[in-house]
């Protein structure tokens, strides 16, 4: 199973059209035995174990040649207990609706530290991320949305303001620490006073007290982490749940900037129109899938919902 999963993920990351054969094989192994139980279900909750946290179940292909996403809404949870707790949780009604960060301006030191931390770290400007958060802002009432771009999209601002908003959205670069996943980070701006380094680490998120409904991490590799027995995947989504946020949308590989912006804009549009969080993500992914330029799962499948659907 480990080699099959790794082979499929590699094919997806490399935009290899040959992924379909592996996606069919994994469907037959994992979902075909329970297909009769799934037929009447509109949503599927996947509680993965071990390496299966790396497997995008929504990309698997059934005997009719359809991706699971084309038939079902798929979301993920560490366990039934954590899912029940997340689903039962009610936000404490913070005053703001949306807090969004886009294209943070990184200092030279932050760029150097990021490259030292991860040799192939991407630290360049993210104009699509700016477009993404500016477009998202239009869906929310002007007085209830706060969008911070460039130097304003700072780590200090996130720590100061995040507890006051229902929806958190960060469009930035991400760094994954394979050896110590709680040191994985989102790269934000840092203030001149040097109190924050601009690395919003998972361990720092876990120390916050959040009161909102969902956090969308529009960055690379934010769904990755260390497998913990009975705890699921220890990383960004785990840290957000510890902080009090019941739902996270995170990425399983290095997402492409322009289609990611389209996916995220569509997600918020569907969410504001009344779709559930998991259905909004599915509808956004289907929109991207039906664009011939982005038909490969590399573009529409990297983001998954973990927690309350």
Give the percent of the chain with pLDDT over 90.
Answer: 62
In a domain, 251, yes or no: yes
| Residue pLDDT, tens place only, 160-218 | 999 999 999 999 998 888 788 889 999 999 876 668 888 999 999 999 999 999 999 99
Residue 234 has pLDDT above 90, yes or no: no
What pLDDT sits at residue 177? 84
* Mean pLDDT value of segment 282-302: 97
Structure confidence at residue 225 (pLDDT): 67
- Average pLDDT of span 100-113: 88
Whole-number pLDDT of residue 106: 87
Residue 77: the pLDDT is 86
Domain hosting 131: range is: 87-275
Say how many domains are in the chain.
Answer: 1
Residue 196 resides in a domain? yes
pLDDT score of 90? 60
pLDDT at 53: 85
Q: What is the mean pLDDT of residues 265-285?
A: 97
pLDDT score for 121: 72
Residue 216: inside a domain, yes or no? Answer: yes
* Reported confidence tier of residue 125, pLDDT bands at 50, 70, 90: confident
Task: Give the tens place of pLDDT for each residue, 138-152.
Answer: 999 989 999 999 999
CATH code assigned at 149 = 3.40.50.1460
User: Is 183 domain-assigned?
Assistant: yes
177 within domain boundaries: yes
- Does residue 309 fall inside a structural domain? no
DSSP state of 208: S
Q: How many angstroms separate the CA atoms of 200 and 129, rounded?
A: 17
Cβ burial, residue 110 (10 Å; 0-12/13-18/19+): buried
Categorize the per-residue pLDDT at 87 as very low, low, confident or very high, splitting at 50, 70 and 90. low
Q: What is the pLDDT of residue 91?
A: 55
Q: Note whether residue 117 is domain-resident.
A: yes
Average pLDDT of the residues of the chain: 89
Count of beta carbons in the 10 Å neighbourhood of residue 203? 15
**Long-range CB contact pairs, 8-13, < 8 A, 24+:** 8/55, 8/59, 9/54, 9/55, 9/56, 9/252, 9/253, 12/56, 12/59, 12/253, 12/296, 12/297, 12/298, 12/301, 13/253, 13/254, 13/298
Q: In whole angstroms, give the CA distance from residue 48 to residue 34.
A: 15
Q: Which residue has the higher pLDDT, 278 or 178?
A: 278
Share of the chain above pLDDT 70, in %: 91
pLDDT band at 159 (very low <50, low <70, confident <90, very high): very high
> pLDDT at position 57, please?
96
Contact 198, 104 (CB under 8 A): yes
Mean pLDDT value across residues 244-267: 93
pLDDT of residue 85: 67
Residue 2 pLDDT class (50, 70, 90 cuts): confident
**61 lies in some domain:** no
Banded model confidence at residue 309, pLDDT cuts 50, 70, 90 = confident
The answer to whether the pTM exceeds 0.85 is yes
Output the pLDDT for position 285: 98
pLDDT reading at 118 higher than 90: no
Give pLDDT, residue 255: 84
The pLDDT score that the predictor gives to residue 55 is: 93
| Tokens found for residue 290 | 């039906």
Task: Round the CA-based radius of gyration of the chain to a whole number and report it.
Answer: 18
């Amino acid at each position: 199973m480990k080699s099959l999963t790794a082979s499929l993920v590699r094919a997806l990351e490399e935009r290899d059209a040959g992924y379909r054969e592996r996606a069919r094989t994994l469907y037959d192994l994992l979902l075909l035995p329970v297909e009769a139980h799934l037929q009447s279900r509109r949503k599927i909750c996947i509680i993965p174990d071990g390496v299966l946290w790396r497997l995008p179940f929504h990309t698997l292909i059934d005997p009719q040649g359809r991706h699971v996403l084309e038939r079902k809404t798929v979301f993920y949870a560490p366990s039934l207990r954590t899912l029940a707790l997340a689903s039962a949780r009610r936000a404490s009604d913070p005053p703001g609706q949306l807090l969004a960060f886009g294209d943070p301006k990184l200092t030279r030191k932050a760029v150097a530290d990021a490259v030292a931390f991860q040799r192939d770290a991407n630290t360049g400007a993210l104009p699509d991320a700016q477009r993404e958060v500016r477009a998202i802002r239009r869906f929310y009432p002007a007085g209830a949305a706060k969008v911070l771009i460039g130097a304003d999209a700072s780590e200090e601002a996130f720590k100061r303001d995040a507890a006051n908003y229902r929806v958190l959205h960060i469009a930035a670069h991400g760094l994954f620490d394979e050896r110590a996943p709680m040191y994985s980070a989102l790269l934000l701006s840092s203030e001149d006073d040097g109190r924050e380094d601009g690395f919003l680490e998972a361990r720092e998120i876990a120390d916050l007290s959040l009161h909102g409904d969902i956090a969308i991490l529009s960055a690379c590799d934010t769904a990755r982490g260390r497998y913990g027995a009975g705890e699921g995947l220890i990383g960004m989504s785990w840290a957000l749940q510890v902080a009090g946020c019941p739902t996270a949308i995170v990425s399983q590989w290095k997402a492409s900037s322009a289609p990611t912006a389209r996916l995220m804009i569509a997600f918020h549009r569907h969410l504001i129109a009344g779709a559930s969080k998991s259905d909004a993500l599915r509808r956004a992914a289907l929109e991207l899938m039906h664009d011939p330029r982005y038909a490969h799962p590399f573009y529409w499948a990297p983001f998954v919902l973990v927690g309350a659907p």
